[in-house]
Amino acid sequence: MDPVLNSGDTAWMLISTALVMLMTVPGVALFYGGLSKKVNVLNTMFMSLIAFSIASIVWVLYGYQFAFGADMLGGLIGNPANLLFSGIGVDQLSTLAPTIPETVYIAFQMTFAAITVALVSGAVVGRMKVSSWIVFSIAWLSLVYVPIAHWVWGGGFLFQWGALDFAGGTVVHINSGVAALALALLLGKRKDTKLLPHHLGYSVIGAALLWFGWFGFNAGSALSAGGLAGQAFINTNTATAAAMVSWVIIDYLKTGKPTILGAISGAIAGLVAITPAAGFVTLQAAVIIGLVTSVVSYLAISYLKPKLGYDDALDVFGIHGMSGLWGALATGLFAAPFINSLGTGVFYGNPGQIVTQIVAIAIVAAYSFVATLIIGKIIDIVMGLRVEEKEEIEGLDITQHEETGYRI
Amino acid sequence: MKEIVAIIRPNKLDEVKDALETIGCNGITVTEVKGRGRQLGITESYRGSDYRIDMLPKTRLEIIVADEDADSVVNTIVETAQTGDIGDGKIFISSVEDVVRIRTGERGEEAV
């Protein structure tokens, strides 16, 4: 691509950025808010709201610079040449997306950082102190998200090894899913571990907004308004639809009835799974990725979770972690060079790609898990992670915010 | 006089209220309540896990009528609130010693 500003690309990226913003607030906020208890609905939504604001500030002050600055320290981190947004000209074009302004690319990537932290909150609803969540968000973005974004997208060592992640299967979903698991283990189980959504209608609206915003997330990751964006768009929609159908079939087989929560869970699983593959695979592969991913997440939630006994309240690990894992592996299998010359998977003659994907998944998952445990443990020692038992019983809306979601 | 307390499905309230009106029974007190019957509630399934929901929303009607009207009111409630499925509710009938209309001070059946 010529390093010349393209107004069509820029317009599409501005829209995409706004679409991804919509995924966090109100998408994740409503999706998680509806699934939580009535007495925790505001706290659950607040965790997404504040995550977006924290990421917005961290990202422009130093996050972007470390994540996408010129590679240094052997692929570990970017060179923060433009700390505090200094030296970034208004007409300066992005190095990684040379037809759009750097400011637009920064804003686009900022929304990815924000939603990744917000996703983690689903595992800890109903029991984490809001002050600890705020500190955790700052620390986790800085010490976990930023380096991983550099490794995979910013020219770091996994990027150099050829790991494929079109829009965030590894950086966003495996990362947030594994971090959610680590934080859930640190916090321990809630007193009442049932998943009884207090307002599934909120969750349906939230899931629909996520689906809508995901077009910006995935098709925007083409970084231009062209054929690749179109392919990513149609792949995203198709895989999501297939995953919803697949989860509904599982529901029918298990209980004889389709559930609404199953339908939207399938949709989210499909969106997650197609994310790393969206701009690398054919439409036929997108169907397979979507159909399989619901089985993966369903098994994780229904069998793995009860067996291992962790309390991932809203199944962040089960859906984002496990469907992200499947999507990242599927990218290594199905990446077609005639869709995107940057990716050739096993089925198109590059068996090494699956090895690269597995290595990238293992490194990101291991780092995310250990680093999250360390950050969480330090916060626990310094200020405590979990609310008092009586506060948990009374609900976090009133005890953490002195507000209630429902007056009537 | 009799007090008739009926626990019915919330979505049957309007139907029951209209039917009672047609037999001349207008005085009615309605409360939204929660409870369970012999079946201990119902089962709901979320992401493959089954949960027993044993406190279901119900509507509680309180009606005070003259002794001779009690059967007619009870039969009307049964006819209109019945679906034949589990969870239709119950009716409790008890005797009332006296009734006072606060506005006028009337007592007994005159106050009903």
On the question of pLDDT at B53 being above 90, the answer is: no
> Phi and psi for A332 in degrees, rounded to 5?
-65, -25
Choose among A30, A235, A62: nearest CA to A146.
A62
- The three-class DSSP label of residue A403 is coil
For residue B1, how many other CB atoms are within 10 A of its CB? Answer: 18
On the question of pLDDT at B38 being above 90, the answer is: no
Q: Distance (Å) from the C-alpha of residue B9 to the closest C-alpha of chain A? A: 20
pLDDT-based confidence at residue A316 (cuts at 50, 70, 90):
very high
H or E element that contains A354? helix A352-383
Q: Which of A192, A195, A257, A307 to mutate to test the interface with B (most CBs of B within 10 A)?
A: A195
The torsion defined by the Cα of A33, A38, A40 and A45, in degrees rounded to 10, comes to 20
Q: Which residue has the tokens 């680093």?
A: A371
Q: What integer pLDDT is reported at residue A195 of this predicted model?
A: 87
Architecture of domain B2-111: 2-Layer Sandwich (3.30)
Mean pLDDT of A364-385: 98
Q: What integer pLDDT is reported at residue B107 of this predicted model?
A: 95
**Domain edges within chain B:** 2-111
Question: Does the CB of B32 have a partner CB in chain A at under 8 Å?
Answer: no
On the question of pLDDT at A383 being above 80, the answer is: yes
On the question of pLDDT at A1 being above 80, the answer is: no
Q: Are A354 and A346 in contact (CB under 8 A)?
A: yes
Residues in chain A, total:
408
- Evaluated on CA atoms A166, A321, A134, A44, the torsion sign reads positive
CA dist B100 → A119, A195, B4, B35, B73 (Å) = 60, 49, 17, 30, 21
Question: Does the CB of A203 have a partner CB in chain B at under 8 Å?
Answer: no
When the pLDDT of each residue in chain A is averaged and rounded to a whole number, the result is 96
Question: Does the CB of B51 have a partner CB in chain A at under 8 Å?
Answer: yes
What is the end-to-end Cα distance of chain B in Å, rounded?
Answer: 9
Distant-in-sequence, close-in-space partners of A16: CB < 8 Å, separation ≥ 6: A108, A215, A216, A217, A219, A220
On the question of pLDDT at A133 being above 70, the answer is: yes
Burial per residue of A49-88, b for 16 or more beta-carbon CB atoms within 10 angstroms, e otherwise: bbbbebbbebbbebbbbbbbbebeeebebbebebeeeeeb
Mean pLDDT of A37-57: 98
Mean pLDDT of A200-216: 98
Task: Determine the residue type at A203.
Answer: S
Selecting from B44, B47, B53 the residue whose C-beta is nearest the C-beta of A315 gives B47
On the question of pLDDT at B58 being above 80, the answer is: yes
**Domain edges within chain A:** 7-401
CATH code for residues A7-401: 1.10.3430.10
ipTM over 0.85: no
Task: Determine the residue type at A374.
Answer: I
pLDDT-based confidence at residue A395 (cuts at 50, 70, 90):
very high
